[in-house]
Structure 1
């Protein structure tokens, strides 16, 4: 049986800027019974995110975005071949009072210029890096029309400079396999599409007159 209980001995806010850092002193039940040693841990309170895989099942095209990521700067010291501009799917943070579905529609339009057709399909909700952050991602598939998709998008006031482009599903799968999609959210979404592409295309075909 997995342990279930934990005890917070001390909790304080270590940083309260755009990101928030909480400092914990805690202990928890162990698998063998009893309590763990007292642990001092910092947790980044990043907020919760929503991501969308914009896919056109009629044209069999995936809409991707590319943008600069400052977190990749220090990564290049260890892995010089890792990019600073990442190929990604649409994503954004849930603001107070928003529902994940609302964020999905808003971010898809802001970041890619796409409007989601019909209902979103839930893919998964997962921890990003629970060893040090509270962030989760709720991931959806959104059907779009990729006919006239492209160009530069994003909210200027938020410093966004996003290149939007589209590739065939097969090209997208090749990008995953050759390491061009080197972030977890895009990887999970495209692997899901590899498993569900035929079903989605059949369902979409059945809806067409």
Structure 2
């Protein structure tokens, strides 16, 4: 510490990750997913609506998030727009999450999603309107941190989507 004291801290080292909020600027929709999360279930809460995300492993972030979008949402992403590289829970984790926005169109929905075979993710894909997304941000109902940051970034960077 600054005063020279030595204190014990415990860290979770789960590597880095990537996440994307796909949105269709023409139809004014976004793709979110939900899946069973142990902490959320233990708290007795309903499933979270989340951005598509995954562990970075050894791939480049842009390459990895495109793969995750195909696996989780059955979606080919358009151009990636970098948002930030965040520390989601800095007090206890070494994890960084690279955040992106990306466009999509109906023609880019290439499959049902649901997750990679053998990973037991049990993912449900949700296409919601941008108005519904904004409503969740404004009401505080969007409880997943990475997804909240991405939705707010979309609102700030592309206000024309709500005109």
- Which digits, 9 at most, give the CA deviation of each residue in 1:75-121, with x for residues without a partner? x2xxx5x32x211110000112x11111111011111111012x311
1:38-187 maps to which residues of 2 (within 5 A)?
38-74=6-42, 76=43, 80=44, 82-83=45-46, 85-96=47-58, 98-117=59-78, 119-146=79-106, 149=109, 151=112, 153-187=114-148
What is the distance in 1 between the residues matched to 2:157 and 2:54? 24
State the alpha-carbon separation in 1 of the partners of residues 70 and 112 from structure 2: 13
**CA RMSD, 1 decimal:** 2.1
> Take 2:94 and 2:101, find their aligned partners in 1: how far apart are those partners?
23
Contact 1:59 1:146 in 2 (8 A): no
Question: Which entry has the higher C-alpha Rg, 1 or 2?
Answer: 1
Q: Which has the higher strand share?
A: 1
Preserved CA contact (<8 Å) 2:70 2:113: no
After TM superposition, give the deviation of residue 154 of structure 1 in Å: 0.9
Q: SS state of the match for residue 156, structure 1?
A: coil
| Unaligned stretches of 5+ residues in structure 2 | none
Residues 198/179 of structure 1: CA separation in 2 closer, same or farther (3 Å cut): closer
How far has the Cα of 1:127 moved from its partner? 0.4
1:148 CA drift (Å): 7.8
Q: TM-score, normalised by structure 2?
A: 0.89
Deviation at 1:42, TM superposition (A): 1.2
TM-score by length of 1: 0.70
Spell out structure 1 runs of 4+ moving beyond 3 A.
146-152, 198-201
CA contact 1:63–1:146 (8 Å) conserved in 2: no
Given that 1:123 and 1:140 are in contact with CA atoms closer than 8 Å, whether structure 2 keeps it comes out as yes
- Point out which structure has higher relative CO (alpha carbons under 8 A, 6+ apart): 2
